[in-house]
Amino acid sequence: MPTTLTGRRLCTSQGAIDHPVIVIDQDGLIASIHSDPANSSEDVLTSTFFDIHTHGAANYDLMNVSPAELGVINRFLATKGVGHYLATTVTAPIDQTLRSLDALANAVESRSAANEARPIGIHLEGPFISHARKGVHPPADILPPDIALFDRFYEAARGQIRIITIAPEIPGALALIEHAASLGVKVSIGHTDATSEEAQAAIAAGARSATHTFNAMRPLDHRAPGVIATVLDDDRLFAELICDGIHVAPEVVRLWFKAKGPEKAILITDSMSATGMPDGTYTLGTFQVQVKDGRAMANGSLAGSVLTMDRAVANLQRFTGLPLDTAVRLASHNPAALLGLEEVIGNTDAGKTANFNVFDASGQLQGTILNGVRI
């Protein structure tokens, strides 16, 4: 039997509809959308979120996850409004990375359950990063850019790598950026000590994004502006940000949005296995992370986050005063636009999958509808 979803407003990248009435067929697809002023619902409906940078959640790490454990992650993410995500790696020994990429490719190619967020690709973060800005990535496993090794990763992932984070100042990086871009992989500048000139060279070679902007980057200087100035200034780059109030101060969040605007700013979580769990010791890749009071730390550095995407969207509104529809855009349409996946994420045409987030009148996430089923 068809079901009906109503709201005070539907906000998607395709526009807004007041008093929407969404008819969902028995296959979980959108049958029709129309406006009916007699509809009295106060809910605000939006696209579901697309997190392009997450390492895990619910006590499980995506690099070391069984199919059953992956389902736990997927169901947890769905409860936080995530419809799709990129499974993100962290620097590890080559053999382990190859095994993880193969397993993650299996996950991407498998059909997720109706009540689960769906992995639709892989974000390869490391090993081609800067020792100077490595963060918690194990230094012994950081490697110079190598096209042949990247091709081994790409083959193990069966072409499912959609983003790679690279430090562009390292010898060989520009050639790898050109090569990855030629395969359709989006290159993101990150874990980098690059100057502004080196960042510009990366953009010329094909880089189109920045990984967790401000974090693990050469600091901004008004005379030697460095990579951050290029990320904020160049309209060709999208820019990720971890909006938890820990990785980036609210004042800088506002600066980031003013620079990148509603088209090129992207919210991510950079979440790790401790997300959704109590304080304690957890795993990120091959190493342990201590979590206390919302901070994930390893060897004195922040090690990912315990942020969820619904909180990132709420924080952005609180820090900036932006409306819900703009905040959601940064967590759904913009990452999809980076990857050319607008037809998959947040498309409300008839015949598309019925994926929606439901917010109350105060802007709090109340539920998620995936494949026409409310979570």
Binding residues for substrate: 136, 215-216, 223, 247, 302-304
Can you say which residues are annotated as belonging to the binding site for Zn(2+)?
125, 191, 212
- Spatial separation of the C-alpha atoms in residues 197 and 186, rounded to whole Å: 20
Tokens of residue 32, six digits: 């029709």
- Spatial separation of the C-alpha atoms in residues 261 and 360, rounded to whole Å: 26
How close are the terminal C-alpha atoms of the chain, in Å? 18
**Residue 270 designated active-site:** yes
Q: Which of 43, 270, 310, 325 is catalytic?
A: 270
Q: Quick count: other Cβ atoms within 10 Å of Cβ 280?
A: 11
- Spatial separation of the C-alpha atoms in residues 18 and 9, rounded to whole Å: 4
Can you say which residues are annotated as belonging to the binding site?
125, 136, 191, 212, 215-216, 223, 247, 302-304
- Spatial separation of the C-alpha atoms in residues 260 and 235, rounded to whole Å: 7
- Which residues on neighbouring strands pair with residue 369, listed in sequence order? 356, 374
Q: State the catalytic residues.
A: 270
